[in-house]
Amino acid sequence: MNRILWMAWRYVVYHKAKTVILTLCLTLTAVLPLTAHLLIAHYGDSLTARARGTPLVVGAKGNRFDLVLKALYFGSASVDRIKMSEVESIRESGLATPIPLHLRYTARKRPIVGTTLEYFEFRGPRVARGTGLRELGQAVLGAKAAAELQLGPGDFLFSDQRSLYDISKTYPLKMHVVGVLAETGSPDDEAVFVDIKTAWIIDGITHGHQNVAQTTDLSMVLQRTNDNIATTDAIVEYNEVTLENIASFHTHCEPAELPLSAIIVLPHDLKSSTLIKARYNLSETHRMLVPAEVVQELMGLVFKVKRFFDANFALITVSTVLFIILVVLLSHRIRKREMETMFKIGCSRLTVFWLQAAELAIVLMMGLGLAGVLSIGVVWAAPHFVRWL
């Protein structure tokens, strides 16, 4: 058998054009279904694991898929805002612990996650370098975000401009990077974490500026009374929080009206979960979702589409197999004199059969091996490719 394999290998190497064509046919036939299977399995496990670890999510009524993907995976979909009053309402109910999320902005294309310290206690990411969030204007980077942006404790990171054509809306906030999280293999690795109040600064709701009560520049004062000072657009707001100006930051909004994107809800027990879900079932403006159920439904849709592609791949596979059979039959006719010579020198018909089978097996293994390598490469590069798009 070793001699047969050696002779088959020598034949495959000698006929390079034939070998390359057959290998590419097998590779292209196998790489698409194999890549699709690996991608769905990889992202399916990642999606469902994070969803199973998140009991409940609250947000504005709308597309349930957008809400869950936004709250759990920091997706790019836009969701309607909810108010901070919902956080206080959940906390006062005594049924669950709410974790607010503000997910409207990005920093160098990485999602900015405005939240509270309860988020880190819930998800469990530890700080690998530097410190956690302590003050207004600070940021902690996920492991991949820090590596790709080449930033660490002591560096600065600006939020992305909200409007490309209207720079007067808000100033990009210069955030102080104080820490880098350990890699978790989750969307947290790609995110920039800030305190929820820092996210409101990017929103323009919270801001700091010079003391207008003491200014002598009349171009900054529109109207002055004993109780109020109305300013013009000439006043400059701070785009960085420092020890010198942190006391000047204030919010022009009632605390209950402050905006959020979603709320992660952690019920204290099964009874509390049932009660709080029943409460939100009656709401006309908000909805409470079980992420595991939503992701399972989403994956069900994905598998339905996958079945369609599987049928298409099956037809391609059949056509490729028929093509290979045709090549083998034609090759057999071309090699007729070669086979007759082998018979004359004493080779049995079984030996000739195993020789041709070994040649085909070598090409098959080369094609499938190359398809496997390409599929693994696609799975590895998929997150980078999606982010580039």
Say what the pLDDT of residue 170 is: 61
Q: Are residues 87 and 121 both part of a single domain?
A: yes
3-state secondary structure of 311: helix
Phi, psi of 172, deg, nearest 5:
-60, 135
- Residue 207 belongs to domain spanning: 54-290
Q: Are residues 39 and 71 both part of a single domain?
A: no
Domain boundary among 290, 310, 327: 290
Say what the pLDDT of residue 383 is: 59
In terms of DSSP bridges, do strands 206-207 and 250-251 run parallel, antiparallel, or are they unpaired? antiparallel
- Asked if 310 and 90 count as a contact pair (C-beta separation under 8 A), the reply is no
pLDDT digits (tens, 9 = 90+) for 155-208: 999 998 866 555 555 678 889 999 999 998 889 999 999 999 999 988 888 766
Residue 229 CA to residue 90 CA, distance in Å, equals 37
Number of other residues whose CB lies within 10 A of the CB of residue 86 = 23
The answer to whether residue 263 scores a pLDDT higher than 60 is yes
3-state secondary structure of 96: strand
- Asked if 107 and 163 count as a contact pair (C-beta separation under 8 A), the reply is no
Mean pLDDT of 90-103: 94
Per-residue pLDDT band at 376 (split at 50, 70, 90): confident
Q: Are residues 101 and 38 both part of a single domain?
A: no
Whether this prediction's pTM lies above 0.75 is answered by no
Q: Are residues 363 and 218 both part of a single domain?
A: no
Say what the pLDDT of residue 388 is: 46
Domain boundary among 267, 290, 313: 290
Domain boundary among 290, 324, 351: 290
Q: Are residues 349 and 271 both part of a single domain?
A: no
Residue scoring higher pLDDT (227 or 338): 338
Count of residues for the chain?
Answer: 389
Q: Are residues 262 and 314 both part of a single domain?
A: no
pLDDT digits (tens, 9 = 90+) for 341-359: 776 776 766 777 777 778 7
Q: Are residues 95 and 196 both part of a single domain?
A: yes
Q: Are residues 79 and 118 both part of a single domain?
A: yes
Say what the pLDDT of residue 185 is: 84
Q: Are residues 262 and 165 both part of a single domain?
A: yes
Q: Are residues 82 and 194 both part of a single domain?
A: yes
Our count of domains for the chain comes to: 2
Say what the pLDDT of residue 267 is: 94
Q: Are residues 186 and 221 both part of a single domain?
A: yes
